[in-house]
Structure 1
Amino acid sequence: MEAYQAALSGQAVPRVVATERTQPGTMSALIVAYYNSTEFKTHAESTRYVYRHAIERFRSKFGEKSIAGMQSKHVREYLDEFADKPGVTTNIRRVLNILMGFAVERNYRPDNPMKGLRKSKSRRRSEGFRAWTDDDIATFEAYWPAGSRERLALALLLYTAQRRSDVVKMGRQHVRGGKIHVAQQKGGGQTKLWIPLHPKLAEAIRLTPADHLTFLITRTGGPFTPESFTNWFAAAALEAGLPPRSSPHGLRKAGARRLAEAGCTQHQIKAITGHKTLAEVALYTESVDQERLADQAMAAVEESEKRTSTVKPSERV
């Protein structure tokens, strides 16, 4: 409040040092150390934001508690508060595991209380962002004409299967030799991809004015931020008659699903989406059209039987 009053009156704002607010040996001291570490600072800005959100929520309850006194039962009691929000619970577990692993590495405590903490079974599973269906895509394309920003945004999302943070940065300078180059923002640009241009994406780019640094621009002519792009695109989807929660990330899932339905292996899908593990790819392709794949599988069996000659034994075996 002193800093606030000083700012209102135009005076110099008193500097508050983080170490003056925390007591050594407390969870707050550990959190401050983690925020100042290379491990935290090398994460992408979006990742740091997610981590901070989970950590600060935890600190509000346990900040003054002892690092050494933190036990698995305390974490379990805390997680029970979010039993009806499995997505939140999963994120908190992941972030706290990283934080307590940092505590062990820096000798704040000898063990990680997150290890051995069994996951509770939830009766309902969070599905995350709703994946777009082929009907959704057709409805959107029927409403927004070719050459519109909306159609270009859909083509970029669907035919690159990238995150919104990467799509809003794409421009003609990234297209060479019939491929679009992506240095994914998540992970600090370490994941670099060359993705062949789908004919529909190439046509959408051809219809786009070439006088801007990025393909997608706002009404004022500037680039989108990831957040403003999501709001704009979600509104365009609603206007086209799509269900709520038809987000850009749902098209990333749809792109991965279409690759799976086309018969691509998980390694091939990973080469497009940039996922780090096959488990992540499997999660994104859960909505693969079961009926279509079942038809393909049974047709393959029938074709195999036609090519295989069966010899009847001459005597009983």
Structure 2
Amino acid sequence: MENRMKVRIKYVVEDTDRHGSVRVYLRKDGRKLRLHGPLGSPDFWREYHAALKAPPKKRGETKTVPGTIQKGTMRWLVAQYTASGMFKQLGAKTQKDRRATLERFCNNIPKGKTLPDGELPFDKLQPKHLRLRRDAMVATPEAANTMLKALKQVFKFAVLYEHLAANPAAGVEPLKSKGDGYHSWTLEEIEKFEKVHPIGTTARLALALALYTGQRRSDLVQFGKQHVRDGWLTFTQFKGRENRPVRLELPIIPELQRILDASPTGDLAFLATAYGKPFTAAGFGNRMREWCDKAGLSDCSTHGLRKAAASRLAELGCTEFEIMAITGHQTSKEVTRYTKAASQRLRAESALAKLTGTKS
């Protein structure tokens, strides 16, 4: 059996969070400062020595006690926001994701600093500080933009409830995203999936539902016989159902009906697990990942089928408003992003047809 010697470093303590993850802190002079990097690594020692030089708490200053939050800090403002009606009106998943984003922000210690962002006074933060924080995440622009979006809402809350006079994040621009997001399935990839997963399998039914309805996985898993009326699929989209519900009626085209009739389905949902139970959205996403991998489609995903459905409609000459009637988008911004490649192809084809016509 391997014997490991535990090395103790002065003032360094370890805490285990509710997820079982071990976090390292320097506890000295009433302060508890988070340290990053593996123990003994250059990043760890850099932060350790910087934390040692941090000034002790002044007499009369509130002592940091685990489980308490100092008023006036970003962590305090975040706590006020997440306890507000403004936050509680959000959907459960949005609340969960935003809490996680804001917790990461509050726990982060910028390079060269000794205090985590959560201990900074929120009324001293300026747009330049938030831009620096955003720019530190340039390698992951989507995560940076998610953080920025969350902070804008926190500061919007602060202005509405008169904790601040102005929103310092309002004018901070998001980073440009890498590429066009999720990969849109090509016709060849769809055919490859169909070859590996024939009609009569749950995998093929999942593909057909996604491709011929253009809906998110959170909607695909809820579809069942109870949503079918006179050959139409009638439902309220899962996303935004609590605040801005979108009700859709989509025709079940013959090809989708043919696959439905030939497929095993559950009592409450068309897509069912091996035990006959409806999938959760996350569970379905994991299962779809397995089906795609089996077909050798590592770049493909459920959301990529939603994008492919919109692109197909664009290639058929559908307008943005016609596509929005299928996908349920409330603005054309996302639809335009989905269909950009298809629109370019149509315009090129039209231009060359005119050129050919001119020459003839």
TM-score (ref. length: structure 2): 0.74
Residue 160 of structure 2 corresponds to 105
Q: CA deviation at 1:30?
A: 1.6
Q: Could you tell me how far apart the structure 2 residues matched to 1:72 and 1:2 are?
A: 34
Contact 2:314 2:323 in 1 (8 A): yes
Note closer, same or farther for the CA distance 1:179–1:302 as it changes in structure 2 (3 Å cut). farther
1:302 CA drift (Å): 7.3
Q: State the aligned residue count.
A: 289
> Which one of 266, 280, 283 corresponds to residue 320 of structure 2?
266
Q: 2:103 and 2:67 mapped to 1: Cα distance? A: 18
The AA in structure 1 aligned to 2:102 is I
Name the structure 2 match of 1:39: 86
1:286 paired residue number: 340
- Contact 2:196 2:295 (C-alpha < 8 Å) held by counterparts: yes
> Residues 12-161 of structure 1: matches in 2 within 5 Å?
21-60=68-107, 61-119=116-174, 125-161=178-214
CA distance in 1, matches of 2:153, 2:17: 33
Q: Which residue of 1 aligns with 2:258?
A: 203
Structure 2 counterpart of 1:23, one-letter code: Q
Distance 2:87 2:356 in 1: 55
What is the Cα deviation at residue 293 of structure 1? 4.6
Q: CA deviation at 1:153?
A: 0.1
- 1:301 positional shift: 8.2
Q: Does 1:165 align with 2:212?
A: no
Corresponding residue number in structure 2 for 1:255: 309
Give the drift of 1:303: 7.9
CA distance in 2, matches of 1:2, 1:118: 36
Which residue number in structure 1 is paired with residue 275 of structure 2?
220
> Separation in 1 of the partners of 2:296 and 2:236?
33
Whether 2:287 is the aligned partner of 1:232: answer yes
Partner of 1:314: none
Report the Cα offset of residue 304 of structure 1.
Answer: 11
Q: Which runs of 5 or more residues in structure 2 are unaligned?
A: 1-14, 19-65, 108-115
CA RMSD of superposed structures (Å) = 2.7
Q: CA contact under 8 A between 1:100 and 1:112: conserved in structure 2?
A: yes
Question: In structure 2, what residue type is equivalent to 1:171?
Answer: G
Q: Secondary structure at the match of 2:342?
A: coil
Q: Which amino acid aligns with 2:235?
A: V
Contact 1:261 1:293 in 2 (8 A): no
Aligned equivalents of 1:184 and 1:173: distance in 2? Answer: 15
Q: Unmatched 5+ residue regions in structure 1? A: 5-18, 307-317
Of 36-45 and 223-232, more deviation after overlay is shown by 36-45
- Which piece of structure 1 moves more, 37-46 or 254-263? 37-46
Letter in structure 2 aligned against 1:249: H
Identical-pair percentage? 38
1:174 aligns with 2:221: no
* Contact persistence 2:185–2:304 (CA under 8 A): yes
The Cα shift of 1:298 comes to 4.5
Is the strand fraction higher in 1 or 2?
2
Distance between the aligned counterparts of 1:211 and 1:267, measured in 2? 34
- Whole-Å Cα distance in 2 between the matches of residues 24 and 170 of structure 1? 47
Per the normalisation by structure 1, the TM-score is 0.83
**Relative contact order higher in (CA < 8 Å, ≥ 6 apart):** 1
Could you tell me how far apart the structure 2 residues matched to 1:234 and 1:20 are?
Answer: 39
Q: Which residue of 2 aligns with 1:312?
A: none
